[in-house]
Amino acid sequence: MRKLLTAFQKELILLLRDRTGIALLFLMPSVLVLIICLVQEKVLNPTTRVLILDNDKGVIGQVISKGVSKSENIKVIMASDLGIITGAEAKQAVNRGEYQFSIVIPQGCSQFSIQKARQFIALATGGHTLNTPPKENNPAKDSQVGYDPGKGSEKSITVYFDPSVQGGFRAAVLTAVSKVLLCMEYQIKLDHALSLLSSDQNTIAEKTKIEDSSPWFGISEIWATEFGFITMPTSVQQNVPAWALFGIFFICVPLSGSLIKERDNKILDRLNTMPVSGGVLMTGKILAYLLVCLVQFFMIFLIGKFVLPAMGLPAFSMGNQLPAVTLIVLATAMAATGYGILLGSVARTFEQAIVLGPTSIVIAAALGGVMVPVYLMPEPMQTISNISPLAWALDGFYDIFLRGKQFEAVVPKAACLFGFSAITIAIAQGVMKFKK
C-alpha cells in the first residue's frame, strides 16, 4: 500500500509541476462544452434564410410570404429588395450558400387561381357563372397580358435547395409550402362560393365533395447546383469529406509530439550541428506529414467507395473533379501541418500538446460545420465559424461534391488554407527563436 501511495504522490507532483498542462486539462474541455452547446443551441429550431422571388405580384406571393414568415426560425428575404428578378439568379444565390432555399413564384399564379375558382363554382352550381370575384382575391388583375389559364391543370412553384440541406429539413419545408398553398386554395374557393348569394348552397356543398379534387399548384423541387442530380446527394457524399478533414487535422498530434521529443531529447540541437539549414530540416518534416495526410484522405475515399457499399450504404463518388479535390486536400494538409508545427513550438510538454491539440481540433470542427451544419447555428456562431480552417475546407468540398462547381471556384478557399499554413509556420519559427 505504501508503494502505491508513493507512486500516486509522484504522479501528482509531476502533474502539478506542469501548471500550464494541468490548467489546459480543465480549461479546454470546458471551452469545448461551451462551444458545442452554443453551436447546437438551435439545432432543433434552426434559423433559416429563405429567398422569395415573387414574379406573380399577386395574392399567391403574399400568402406564401406571410405563411413562411410566420415561423420565428425562418428569415424571409424578398428577391425584389436585392434586385434579383429571374429564377436563375435566385438559384445562383442559393448555390453560393447565401440562402438555404429559395421559392420562385411564376407570373400568372393569382390569375390562374381566380380562373380555377370560377370554373370550380360554375361546375358546382350546374353551370352558373360568377359575375364578380371577391375583391380581396383579385390583386393580380384579370388583364394580365399573355396569360391563358386554360393551358394547364396546375401551375408549378419552384423551390431551389442548397444540396447541403439535410433531407428531413427539406421535406419539412416542402410540406409547409404545400399546406400554405392548399389552405389558400380552399380559402379562394370559399370566398368565390360565398359571393354567389343567389346560388343553391346545398348543391355547392354536395358538388365540392367530388368535383375538381386535383391540386391547383404543384411544387418543383430543384437542386441549386451547376450540374443536374439524377439522384439526390446522400449522407455519405456529405459526411465522408467532412470527417476526412477532421482526421487530417489530427496529424497535428504526432507532428507536435515529434517536435517536442526532438527538443526535449536534444536531438534538435544535434541536428542543428549538421551542415544543413533548419529550413531544409523543417521542409523535410512537412513533406513527410503531407504524404501521410494525402494517404489518409484517399484511404478514407476508398472506404467510402468500396467498404460502405458493402455495408448497404451508397458509394462515395469523387466525380471528375480530381484536380480540384487534390488542391483542397493538399491545402488542408498544409494547414494541418502548419498548425501541428505551431502546437509543437508553443507546447512545453507532450501532455500539453495532447490535450490542446485534439480539443482545439474538435472545437474547430464544431465551428466549421463538421458536426452541425453551419446554417443550423445561431447567427453569431455562423459569423464566428468563418475563422475555422475546417469551415473553408469543408465548404470547398461541398462546392465540388454537392454544388457542382469547377476548379476555379475552390481556389480562394485553398488560398486561405495555404495562407493559414504560412502564418502558423512563421509564428512557430518566431517562437522557436525566442525560446533559444
Instruction: Tell me what pLDDT residue 337 has.
Output: 92
Distance from C-alpha of 199 to C-alpha of 131, rounded to nearest angstrom = 12
Instruction: Tell me what pLDDT residue 418 has.
Output: 96
* Residue-wise DSSP of 91-159: HHHHHTTS-SEEEEE-TTHHHHHHHHHHHHHHHHTTS---SS--GGG-TT-TT-TT--GGG-S-EEEEE
Distance from C-alpha of 396 to C-alpha of 409, rounded to nearest angstrom = 8
Cβ(316)–Cβ(304) under 8 Å?
yes
43-55: pLDDT as tens digits: 545 567 888 888 8
Q: For the chain, report the end-to-end CA distance as a whole number of angstroms.
A: 44
Give me the residue label for grid cell 421559392: 103
Q: Return the amino acid letter for 289.
A: Y
SS3 content of the chain, % helix, strand, coil (to 5): 65, 5, 30
Instruction: Tell me what pLDDT residue 34 has.
Output: 56
HSE toward the beta carbon, residue 115, CA cutoff 13 A: 20
CA angle 235, 236, 242 (to 5 degrees): 95
381-405: pLDDT as tens digits: 888 888 999 999 988 888 887 777 7
Flag residues of the chain having pLDDT under 50: 33, 40-41, 44, 129-152, 197-213, 228-231
Going along the chain from its start, the domains and CATH numbers come out as 48-223 (3.40.1710), 233-435 (no CATH)
181's grid cell: 398553398
Q: What is the pTM of this model?
A: 0.58
Give the other-Cβ count within 10 Å of 177's Cβ: 20
3-state class of 244 per DSSP? helix
HSE toward the beta carbon, residue 29, CA cutoff 13 A: 7
DSSP conformation class of 314: P
Distance from C-alpha of 395 to C-alpha of 416, rounded to nearest angstrom = 12
Distance from C-alpha of 103 to C-alpha of 64, rounded to nearest angstrom = 9
145 CB-contact burial (10 Å; exposed 0-12 / middle 13-18 / buried 19+): exposed
Cβ(399)–Cβ(409) under 8 Å?
yes
Q: Which of 375, 423, 367 is nearest to 393 (CA)?
A: 367
Residues in CB range of 47: below 8 A, 6 or more apart: 73, 74, 75, 378, 379
Residues in CB range of 75: below 8 A, 6 or more apart: 47, 48, 49, 50
Give the other-Cβ count within 10 Å of 411's Cβ: 15
Residues in CB range of 357: below 8 A, 6 or more apart: 250, 252, 253, 256, 340, 343
